[in-house]
Amino acid sequence: MTYFEMTKTVIKNLFSHPATLMYPAKPAKKTHLTRGHVTINPDGCITCRSCQRKCPTQAICVEVKEKTWQIDRLRCIVCNCCVEVCPTKCLAMDTQYTAAMTARAGIMKVTVSGPRKKEPAPAES
């Protein structure tokens, strides 16, 4: 970089806004593709464990017997893999960023509906 180019860059930066945002003092720009945090509709979960198997950071733990679904938000890298793989579409990506937390507060555990019961076959007449 020549001396002239460097001076140009310095002067430009002196009179332009910073590239960073004052988040959270100023709200971050969000679109429908923004990855904030994973949410679950417990009524839709069939405890198939697909999300747990697909999660690259082992952030999800599904207990079939206890019918629980758990996420450790401090492990989650918000890759969206679990949302894409869920067969019942009960997982979703919220655009709201997760608030700052401690290790204990990062774990969210919910009771889910579990495997769907088969409908009884209609009686033959």
Q: Which residues contribute to the site for ligand SF4 (CB under 6 A)?
A: 38, 40, 45-51, 54-57, 59-60, 62, 69, 71, 76-82, 86-88, 90-91
- Looking only at the bridges linking them, the beta strands covering 37-40 and 68-72 are unpaired
74: closest CA among 53, 49, 98? Answer: 98
Q: Is the separation of the CB atoms in 107 and 71 below 8 Å?
A: yes
Kindly give, in sequence order, each residue whose CB lies less than 8 Å from that of residue 118, ignoring residues fewer than 6 positions away: none
Nearer to ligand SF4, 49 or 106 (CB): 49
Residue number, 34 or 80, with CB nearest to ligand SF4:
80
Rounded to the nearest 5°, which phi and psi values hold at 4? -65, -45
CB of 96 to ligand SF4, least distance (A): 14
CB of 97 to ligand SF4, least distance (A): 13
The residue (of 21 and 87) whose beta carbon lies closer to ligand SF4 is 87
